[in-house]
A and B are shown apart, each in its own frame.
Chain A
């Protein structure tokens, strides 16, 4: 939709075009910023560390099978890279507009707040994709060095990882919209993803013994699980005593449809609520 003002000589671009403008300049800001290089360095360090460790120690878990390699390398590390990217690029994306006062430069223009929100989200997504791309390239490089091919499950896992990135960024943007303080939004997002979600997941599964289907990190298990053969069962109950009997431990693994649904629903809900919060938030 293109709107014009009867007094204006210029035709204000459509909201979709304005999303593109915000994406372009936010991405430029991200790419030039210190945080992009810090994130790139962290990703490079993880990659180098894995390369050296596997090359030097040649652990059996990594090198006995092609699928085992990708499960051990990619399946255990990629969610960490995704969470860090989400925190680095989404943690203060919206709260920074208030705390740093950059919102006073962009918002009082003929542009919807939703265009700013979506444009910044897409920029964060592209920046994260670049980081994820580096990690994927190193994973594939090592995988092809040790094995001749790439298992088809890796493609699935990569797609699930992208969906997880979408959900993580939806969540971090939502949290960023909740606060006006950048440090608060970054810190709380980091604590939630790195500790709280995992803790709740373990408590709910281990003590309450119900499936933690409402935790995002539980849904993200499918990224690693799809690289195991056979795919782990949804619910496993094992006795804690040798030979059976006595107390039991139930472990849960999200099925692929469950994982997709959890990540999809998290994204939709947090994106909508985050957008509404930003629309209503005031620059006081």
Chain B
């Protein structure tokens, strides 16, 4: 089972503590979002997991292997994307990715196909033999993501992977990350885009001022900080009468509160799990009020984030 573990992981720059005694063990095949404001220590932690910086104290372990004492073994099955790397400008994506494939020991017979497959996955086929020096930031980011996926890694460490990408690129990268989850991978990704984390991740770890604040599953985190209730947003085709919202819907079993957040949008808090969520959907559809969408509130994680992260820097 893939795992990453921070044991009392600390990084100090003189008097400034960038990361303070981080203890975090993540095990299994899932996607974990790593959240925190600018300067919280997210990138610092990820860099210590990839040998870009060294811890002042503590250990960074991948699959139980210390990254700093046994780097080659620890990173053998890891794909990484930290910040936005640059690629030697004279090389083409094919050459740059073949270099990484050779470093990671992908057999000669599989190398060419593997490089072409990951480039195709990132929709960069027509650029595969063009020199990287002419690429935009987003195109380089795609090649770097391709590099992270090259050796079919068991652990994937991503630092704001959708930075620099256009909306379509962001959506494609999210789909790739979701697909990776289905292939028994442990994905640990930092992001400032909370809707992205809600969409892609199963668990979240939040840090602030170099300290871990919370690590739990996404439903637990949101439930814990929203009074134990779940929230769904309902989109309607036409405006709905207030009475239906405040009397009928609010009166459904397990519904804690229902409110209009626009002419054609409702926000409903309820207690209970997915069964209640399903029953609630059926009940609302039966009202024949023109339901066109029904989804967990995207602002839930943001609410939690704003409650926990009280100040930045």
Contacts and interface: CB of A to CB of B under 8 A. Distances in A.
A joins B in a complex: yes
Interface residues of B, number: 47
Interface string A17-33: 01001101110110011
A28 B90 contact: yes
A104 B73 contact: no
A11 interface: yes
Given A10-B151, A104-B52, A111-B103, A5 B87 contact: no
A9 B71 CA distance: 17
A25 B95 contact: yes
Contacts of B87: 102, 105
Nearest to A17: B102
B76 interface: yes
A68 interface: no
B105 A10 contact: yes
B84 interface: yes
A207 to B, nearest CB: 42
Contact of A5 (B77, B80, B102): B77
A7 B102 contact: no
A146 interface: no
B65 A110 contact: no
A110 B2 contact: no
Q: Which of A3, A26, A102, A108 has the most CB of B within 10 A?
A: A108
A110 B75 contact: yes
Contact of A109 (B75, B86, B107): B75
A29 B133 CA distance: 11
Contacts of A26: 88
Interface residues of A, number: 40
A36 to B, nearest CB: 9
A7 B51 contact: no
Contacts of A283: 47, 52-53
A11 B102 CA distance: 10
Given A28-B95, A101-B84, A6 B75 contact: no
A102 B86 CA distance: 5
Contact of A105 (B63, B90, B147): B147
B76 A4 contact: yes
Nearest to B86: A101
Contact of B86 (A3, A21, A105): A105
B50 interface: yes
A283 B157 CA distance: 16
Contact of B72 (A22, A28, A112): A112
B280 interface: no
A105 B76 contact: no
Q: Is the interface of A mostly helix, strand, loop or mixed?
A: loop
Contacts of A28: 90-91, 95
Interface string A46-85: 0000000000000000000000000000000000000000
Contact of A10 (B52, B85, B88, B106): B106
B263 to A, nearest CB: 48
Contacts of A21: 99, 102-103
Contact of A7 (B2, B47, B88, B147): B2
Contacts of B78: 108, 110
Contact of A3 (B76, B89, B90): B76
Given A12-B72, A104-B86, A283-B47, A109 B104 contact: yes
Nearest to A25: B99
Interface in A113-140: 113
A15 B105 CA distance: 11
B265 interface: no
A25 B82 CA distance: 22
A280 B68 CA distance: 11
B107 A10 contact: yes
A113 B83 CA distance: 19
Contacts of B302: none
A105 B77 contact: no
A107 interface: yes
22 contacts: A4-B73, A5-B77, A10-B105, A13-B105, A22-B103, A25-B99, A32-B91, A101-B83, A102-B85, A102-B87, A104-B85, A105-B86, A105-B147, A107-B51, A107-B52, A108-B50, A109-B103, A110-B71, A110-B73, A110-B76, A112-B71, A283-B52
Given A102-B86, A102-B87, A105-B144, 14 more contacts: A5-B65, A7-B2, A13-B102, A25-B96, A104-B85, A105-B96, A105-B147, A107-B50, A108-B75, A109-B104, A110-B105, A112-B72, A282-B53, A283-B52
